[in-house]
């Protein structure tokens, strides 16, 4: 007897298949909004880290030419 192993992903898809088309659309929209919120949080955290690094002198800003010059100076 072969046991069928289903992953959480497969179980989620099976559960979604049981929903009405309108509920499936709602699930899609909720997941999309959660992804957007998660990405916004990541961007905010990155911005906070970058500002802190700049304040501490661990980061700088400039043009691409400034970056190129800095990289070449390090050789």
Domain boundaries in the chain? 8-73
Q: How much is the pLDDT for 15?
A: 97
Element (H, E) at 69: helix 64-73
- The model carries a pTM of 0.65
Q: How much is the pLDDT for 74?
A: 73
Whether residue 50 contacts residue 59, with contact meaning beta carbons closer than 8 Å, is answered with yes
Q: How much is the pLDDT for 70?
A: 85
- Using one digit for the tens of pLDDT, what is the confidence trace for 14-61? 999 999 999 999 999 999 999 999 999 999 999 999 999 999 999 888
Residue carrying structure tokens 């192993």: 5
Shortest CA distance to 22 belongs to which of 10, 30, 11, 12? 30
Distance CA 20, CA 26 (A): 10
Helices (H) and strands (E) in the chain — how many of each? Answer: 3, 0
């Amino acid at each position: 007897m072969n046991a069928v192993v289903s992953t959480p992903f497969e179980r989620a898809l099976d559960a979604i298949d049981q929903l009405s088309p309108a509920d499936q659309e709602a699930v899609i929209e909720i997941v999309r909004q959660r992804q957007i919120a998660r990405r916004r949080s990541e961007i905010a955290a990155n911005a906070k880290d970058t500002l802190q690094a700049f304040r501490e002198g661990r980061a700088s800003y400039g043009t691409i030419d400034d970056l190129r010059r800095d990289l070449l100076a390090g050789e």
